[in-house]
Amino acid sequence: MGCMRNYLTEYRYDLQRTFTGTSGTPPEWVPRLAEGNDAGYHLPGSAVWAVHGSMATIVAGIRVLLMQSLHPGALAGVYEHSGFKEDPLGRLASTVRWIFTVTYGSKEAAEAATYRVRKIHEHVRGSYVDGTGASHHYSANDPELLRWVHVTYADSFLRANRIWGRPIPGGPDAYVREWAQAGRLMGVEDPPLTEAQVRQELEAWYASGILRSDERLAETIAFIRRPPLSPLLQPGYRILFAAAVASLEPKYRDMLGLRPARLGPIPLPAVTTARAVLGMVRLALGSHGPSELAARRRLQRLGYAV
């Protein structure tokens, strides 16, 4: 029993280090989610809280990285400017911070976090060649690239939640409609408001020929497949990566050069096996994360019944 507790403690610390850059105690920005004088953009019982409070977000996060890499402009920004190879976990922690601040923080905190991201984006500029052979100059704050990131995010989080998550209050359209606010904060004009609109926009990008497969994409996918995680997390990550691949539509898998994975000498059902891994993560981290608990403290202080 003591060995199991020690294993779970070490496993929890490795998970915390991976997602936030700290272990044992939450990073400094998490307790500050209890601060602020408004309820924020999202409340308990919302579609956003339901989706982002699910362990399915881990698979969604892998899936969205794969999908976003298909746009050569989005990939160029990450490949040339983000330092994802030198400090991939630092980049992950920054992304987690923004998502959780917009999800659980006050409006002031969400807007401040978004301002920081957009200021960083001002320096992310360059050029790329799309799948049709046309050359483009880009900035990470370009409306087209912001829209691609937002739409692939919504699609991936809905898809993962449908397979591994829980019912969404109001259904998938409620999630797309609520999370559209995050897109507006980032500068997405008229973001999609229904799941059908998300799917239509993805189909339009695919049909346009802009998406591209090349050596840079293959190198990025190889890195996402085998990131520098702790040995304790690597077996579970391999399963979750296989699950993310399985959740992709075949045409996107083909562009990414991926196939449904074999998890050893005998093919295992990635969906079922991932469910077990996510259950292990929930056991280690608990049902309610520190960001949610901090938000509930702020809401209680403001007189909300939570």
How confident is the model at residue 92, as a pLDDT? 81
pLDDT band of 266, cuts 50, 70, 90: very low
Torsion angles phi and psi, residue 45, rounded to 5 = 90, -5
Mean predicted confidence (pLDDT) in 59-68: 96
pLDDT at res. 23: 80
Q: Are 242 and 163 in contact (CB under 8 A)?
A: no
Instruction: Please say whether the beta carbons of 165 and 157 come within 8 A.
Output: no
Q: pLDDT tens digit string along 76-106?
A: 988 776 666 666 777 788 899 999 999 999 9
Instruction: Note whether residue 111 is domain-resident.
Output: yes
Position with higher pLDDT, 37 vs 267: 37
Provide the residue range defining the domain that includes 171.
36-301
pLDDT at residue 265, rounded to an integer = 47
Entry pTM: 0.93
Is pLDDT of 53 > 70?
yes
Query: Does residue 125 form part of some domain?
Result: yes
State the pLDDT at residue 87. 65
Check residue 81 and give its pLDDT.
64
148-174 mean pLDDT = 97
* CA angle (143, 291, 88) in 5-degree steps: 55
Tell whether 31 is covered by a domain.
no
How many structural domains comprise the chain?
A: 1
pLDDT band for 268, please (50, 70, 90 cuts): low
How does the average pLDDT of the chain come out, rounded?
91
d(CA 133, CA 203): 20
Q: Is the pLDDT of residue 263 over 80?
A: no
pLDDT exceeds cutoff 60 at 264: no
In which band, very low, low, confident or very high, does the pLDDT at 112 lie, cut at 50, 70 and 90?
very high
Q: Is 306 domain-assigned?
A: no
Inside any domain, residue 18: no
Provide the token pair at 113: 């976090």
- Residue 138 lies inside a defined structural domain of this protein: yes
CA gap 303, 180 in Å, rounded: 27
Instruction: Give domain status of residue 200, yes or no.
Output: yes
Q: Which long-range contacts (CB under 8 A, 24 or more apart) does 230-235 make?
A: 230/14, 230/17, 230/18, 232/10, 232/11, 232/14, 233/11, 233/14, 233/15, 233/18
Give 81's Cβ-side CA count (13 Å radius). 17
Q: Residue 95 domain-assigned?
A: yes
User: Using one digit for the tens of pLDDT, what is the confidence trace for 1-46?
Assistant: 566 667 778 998 999 988 888 887 889 999 999 999 999 999 999 9
Q: Please report the pLDDT score of residue 86 as a whole number.
A: 63
| CA dihedral of 150, 252, 121, 141, whole degrees rounded to 10 | -60
Give CA–CA dist 175/154, Å, rounded: 8
What region, left, alpha or beta, does residue 139 occupy, with left being phi > 0 and alpha being psi -120 to 50 degrees?
beta
pLDDT for the residue 4: 62
With 80 as the cut, is the pLDDT of residue 205 above it? yes
Element spanning 74, H or E: helix 72-81
Kindly state the average pLDDT of the residues 271-300. Answer: 93
What end-to-end distance do the CA atoms of the chain give, in Å?
35
